Structure 1
Amino acid sequence: MLIAGSSIGEIKNLKTRLSAAFKMKDLGPAKQILGMKISWDRSAGTLNLPQELYIEKVLSRFRVNDAKPTVGSLMYAMVCTRPDIAHVVGVVSRYMANPGKEHWEAVKWLLRYLRGTSSTSLCFGKGNVTLQGFVDADLGGDVDSSKSTSGYIYTIGGTVVSWMSRLQKCVSLSSTEAE
């Protein structure tokens, strides 16, 4: 397994061993993965994973009042590189079986937010590899069910690597229970 700090020799050795076992070509450094552009800044020691092109496609595709496929497209962005929209995507997705006008308004608000932040990306850099985790919950924040929402976010070196925002399964009777 390659990890940060692997030498070029180790990487070349791995490529040689893989090409002996499998038919493969070395196409050079990766430029894209799962529709995300990979942006390297070797002098700064950073790797960025923006979804700007994907978000622009979603924005241009959904200029119609059809919230269901729009929310599915927003979920893909959220799962890959946009933890900042996890909560609102979770909220609007609860109503996709029978969306109302206010739900579509929330989706349009989210699309406008993404328009202004489409260049936001996860940025991985060398150096600090401290793992941090943050967890929180509200108390009865869902107006329809009085259920609480829990969320967490984990970072390594200040860059988000795992996140979640989810409605709890039962109604909490106290903030202690919600937490």
Structure 2
Amino acid sequence: MEVAWNKNDTILLSQQRYTGEILKQYKMEQVKPRAIPLPVGSHTMPAGEKDEVLADATPYRALVGELNILAASSRPDITQALGMLARFMARPTKKHWRLLLGVI
């Protein structure tokens, strides 16, 4: 966490470096930021018959954990989206993975 003081005696908290490391790890450095973490009208449902479940859920779980650190300390704006997607850590689908990558 980076802490900065400005001339107005305001304290600014940032995790820009940590966020940059996450983006780099998932090869998303060139992605444009979104105004909201989840697209309007996106539905997160448990895996159905037609949904393709991820073969290895480990990267999904790791990213949920990394984003949880951000949400708890300096990014409360992603908390709701992260909470919705964390419900599927046992059996995430490719759709859940794409939505989770959009939260970054």
- Normalising by structure 2, what TM-score? 0.67
Q: Is the 8 A contact 1:62 1:70 kept in 2?
A: no
User: Number of paired residues?
Assistant: 75
The structure that is helix-richer by fraction is: 2
The percent identity for this pair of structures is 30
Pairing 1:1-179 to 2, within 5 Å after superposition:
36-41=1-6, 43-63=7-27, 66-111=59-104
Structure 1 stretches of at least 4 aligned residues deviating more than 3 Å after TM superposition: none
Structure 1 CA distance for aligned equivalents of residues 94 and 26 of structure 2? 16
Q: For each residue in 1:111-147, what CA deviation from the matched residue of structure 2 results, as whole angstroms up to 9, or x when unmatched?
A: 2xxxxxxxxxxxxxxxxxxxxxxxxxxxxxxxxxxxx
RMSD over aligned Cα atoms: 1.7
The structure that is strand-richer by fraction is: 1
Q: For each residue in 1:49-81, what CA deviation from the matched residue of structure 2 results, as whole angstroms up to 9, or x when unmatched?
A: 111111001111124x82110110000000001
Partner SS, residue 95 of structure 1 = coil
Partner SS, residue 49 of structure 1 = strand
Structure 1 CA distance for aligned equivalents of residues 23 and 60 of structure 2? 12
Structure 2 CA distance for aligned equivalents of residues 104 and 91 of structure 1? 12
Q: Is the 8 A contact 1:71 1:89 kept in 2?
A: yes
**Which has the higher Rg, Structure 1 or Structure 2?**
1
Higher relative contact order structure (alpha carbons within 8 Å, sequence separation ≥ 6): 2
Partner SS, residue 98 of structure 1 = coil
Measured after TM superposition, the shift of residue 100 of structure 1 is: 0.6
